[in-house]
């Protein structure tokens, strides 16, 4: 059993790297061409055109035993997440100022305020997001299960525990919760921790995380592993807060923006077909970004070589002015363009 759990944990670690990026440093301002990153399509928009579904990337998961013994707490936290997301979108000045003070959080308020509308931070509870989550998991070949979703929060509370932990990866996942970060609840004290995205699988497989914001496919695989008897701890999806932070980006000529094509499925396929025969880099090759982009190219019958790359490598290529076309994420895109603009 231990070997099986270890193998699954290692495999899950390979499907991460969705939100992580390296903070821009003090690179030589005279290197590269400095034209910056051009965003010519949102992956979530193209995905919606092709599938008719929204693009759920990450959400809050709760350990299964907590859902059973303390559903009232789960409901209270779920409600607070909804308010936190609303405040993120309605009062970004206050939320970004607070986010800057969170221990372990790397983004500056200036970048947050420039990028927040492009992060697609929205709230949907488990029931409202079930159709979109199920469709995404099916499209990228991930585990799908009806009982992944924490749709019933009405059971009788029997928990005696009063201290809980909540983890979120740096970037958009923390920002969705920034307004509530550090708060306790009526009958529970909460410890909040910003973690590296590469730690998410281990935090879930060990059961250390009571609540955790995780990529949808990682949580789904944890749940499937538990049902198969290969994982010790179960996790259920409480809500989705990240609906697409990844974009088609380039600093090269020759690509047309999605807006230059017709609306709907046909226009989206024509947009994707322009990549036929090309090579594109992507963050998270084995994760949601890479799997989704490969699925989209397949729907357009476009023969595209998709190479995996980490966010920091793509980021540095853009900063240096190296010819690059990549599936890249906010807020790293904004951070790069902010640095390049400052260097001019």
Residue-wise pLDDT for 174-189, tens only, equals 999 999 999 999 889 9
- Interhelix angle 216-227/288-299, rounded to 10 degrees, is 100
User: Is residue 230 domain-shared with residue 100, that is, in the same domain?
Assistant: yes
Comparing C-alpha atoms, which of 267, 279, 275, 325 is closest to residue 302? 275
- 318 and 220 within one domain: no
Q: How far apart are CA 88 and CA 121, in angstroms?
A: 8
Q: How far apart are the C-alpha atoms of 317 and 188, rounded to whole Å?
A: 46
Out of 199, 220, 242, a domain closes at 242
Q: Quote the domain boundaries for residue 320.
A: 34-54+245-343
Residues 314 and 209 in one domain: no
Assigned domain for 283 exists: yes
Range 108-117 average pLDDT = 95
Contacts of 287 (CB under 8 A, 6+ apart): 15, 16, 17, 18, 215, 217
Q: What is the pLDDT of residue 4?
A: 40
Residues 24-75 have pLDDT tens digits of: 443 443 434 457 899 999 999 999 999 999 999 999 999 999 999 999 999 9
Who's near 279: CB < 8 A, 6+ residues apart? 304, 305, 306, 307, 325
User: How confident is the model at residue 19, as a pLDDT?
Assistant: 60
The whole-number pLDDT of residue 6 equals 37
- Summarize the confidence of residues 3-13 as an average pLDDT: 39
Tell me, yes or no, whether 327 lies in a domain.
yes
- Is 20 among the domain residues? no
Mark which of 195, 224, 242 sits at the end of a domain. 242
Q: Which of 9-23, 191-205, 211-225 has the lowest mean pLDDT?
A: 9-23
Give the pLDDT band of residue 342 (cuts 50, 70, 90).
confident
C-alpha angle 176-282-41 in degrees, rounded to nearest 5: 70
Are residue 200 and residue 226 in the same domain, yes or no?
A: yes
pLDDT band at 13 (very low <50, low <70, confident <90, very high): very low
Pull the structure tokens for residue 145.
Answer: 């299960």
Which CATH number does the domain housing residue 315 bear? 3.40.190
Helix 264-273 and helix 288-299: axis angle, to 10°?
A: 100
Residue 2 has pLDDT above 60, yes or no: no
Domain stops at, among 222, 242, 262: 242
Cβ-proximal residues to 14 (8 Å cutoff; 6+ apart), any chain: 286
pLDDT at 20 over 70: no
CB 35 within 8 A of CB 237: no
Q: What is the mean pLDDT of residues 242-268?
A: 97
Q: Which two tokens stand for residue 201?
A: 């699988």
Asked if pLDDT for residue 103 goes beyond 80, the answer is yes
pLDDT at 16 over 70: no
Identify the residue with better confidence: 204 or 343: 204
Assess whether 83 and 138 both reside in one domain.
yes
Model confidence pLDDT, tens digit, residues 257-296: 999 999 999 999 999 999 999 999 999 999 999 999 999 9
Same domain, 40 and 157: no
Tell me, yes or no, whether 172 lies in a domain: yes
Query: Is residue 273 in a domain?
Result: yes
Query: Does 254 share its domain with 305?
Result: yes
In a domain, residue 28? The reply is: no
pLDDT band at 15 (very low <50, low <70, confident <90, very high): very low
Residue 192 and residue 49 share a domain: no
| CA neighbor of 223 nearest in space, from 67, 47, 102 | 67
At residue 17, the pLDDT reads 53
Q: Are residues 292 and 156 in the same domain?
A: no
Q: In the prediction, which pLDDT does 10 show?
A: 36
Q: Is residue 207 located within the same domain as residue 94?
A: yes
Which pLDDT does position 187 carry in this prediction?
A: 86
Q: Is residue 18 predicted with pLDDT exceeding 70?
A: no
pLDDT of residue 34: 55
Residue 56: what pLDDT?
A: 98
pLDDT tens digit string along 305-333? Answer: 999 999 999 999 999 999 999 999 999 99
The count of domains in the chain is: 2
Cα separation of 178 and 83, whole Å? 11
Q: Is 2 part of a structural domain of the chain?
A: no
Residue scoring higher pLDDT (145 or 192)? 192
- Does residue 182 come out as left (phi exceeding 0), alpha (psi in the -120 to 50 range) or beta? left
How far, in Å, CA of 257 to CA of 249, rounded?
10
Statement to judge: residues 120 and 236 lie in one domain: yes
Note if the bond before 329 is cis, omega within 30 degrees.
no
Domain membership of residue 310 (yes or no) is yes
Residue 127 backbone dihedrals phi, psi, to 5 degrees:
-65, -45
Non-local (6+) Cβ contacts of 231 within 8 A are: 5, 8, 205, 222, 225
pLDDT of residue 344: 76
Task: Kindly indicate the confidence band of residue 143, based on its pLDDT and cuts at 50, 70 and 90.
Answer: confident
pLDDT reading at 116 higher than 80: yes
| Phi-psi label, residue 141: left if phi above 0, alpha if psi -120 to 50, beta otherwise | left
Q: Indicate whether 106 and 120 sit together in one domain.
A: yes
Model confidence at 136: pLDDT above 70: yes
Contacts of 33 (CB under 8 A, 6+ apart): 251, 321
Mean pLDDT of the 165-169 span: 98
Q: Quote the CA–CA distance of 242 and 256 in Å, as a whole number.
A: 27
The span from the CA of 285 to the CA of 42, in Å, is 17
pLDDT at 14: 40
Establish how many alpha carbons lie within 13 A of residue 216's alpha carbon, considering only the half-sphere containing its beta carbon: 33
């Amino acid at each position: 059993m231990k070997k099986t759990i270890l193998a699954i944990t290692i495999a899950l670690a390979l499907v991460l790297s969705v939100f992580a990026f390296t903070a821009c440093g003090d690179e030589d301002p005279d290197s590269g061409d400095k034209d910056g990153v051009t965003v010519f399509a949102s992956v979530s928009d193209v995905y919606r055109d092709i599938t008719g579904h929204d693009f759920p990337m990450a959400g809050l998961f709760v350990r299964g035993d907590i859902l059973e013994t303390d559903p009232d707490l789960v409901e209270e936290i779920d409600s607070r997440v909804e308010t936190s997301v609303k405040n993120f979108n309605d009062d970004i000045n206050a939320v970004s100022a607070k986010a800057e003070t969170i221990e372990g959080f790397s983004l500056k308020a200036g970048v947050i305020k420039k990028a927040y509308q492009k992060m697609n931070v929205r709230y949907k509870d488990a029931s409202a997001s079930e159709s979109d989550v199920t469709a995404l998991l099916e499209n990228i070949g991930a585990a799908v299960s009806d009982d992944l979703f924490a749709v019933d929060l009405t059971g009788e509370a029997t928990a005696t525990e009063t201290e809980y932990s909540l983890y979120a990866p740096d970037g958009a996942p923390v920002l969705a919760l920034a307004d509530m970060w550090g708060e306790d609840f009526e009958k529970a004290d909460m410890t909040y921790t910003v973690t590296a995205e590469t730690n998410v699988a281990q935090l879930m497989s060990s059961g250390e995380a009571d609540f955790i914001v995780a990529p949808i496919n990682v949580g789904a695989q944890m749940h499937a592993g538990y049902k198969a008897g290969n994982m010790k701890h179960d996790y259920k999806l409480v809500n989705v807060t990240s609906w697409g932070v990844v974009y088609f980006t380039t600093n090269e000529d020759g690509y047309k923006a999605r807006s230059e094509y017709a609306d709907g499925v046909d226009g989206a396929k024509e947009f994707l077909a322009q990549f036929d025969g090309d090579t594109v880099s992507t963050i998270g090759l084995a994760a949601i970004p890479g799997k989704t982009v490969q699925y989209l190219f397949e729907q357009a019958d476009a023969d595209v070589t998709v190479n995996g790359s980490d966010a920091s490598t793509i980021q540095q290529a853009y900063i240096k002015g190296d010819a690059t076309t990549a599936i890249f994420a906010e807020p790293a895109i904004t951070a790069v363009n902010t640095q390049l603009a400052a260097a001019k």
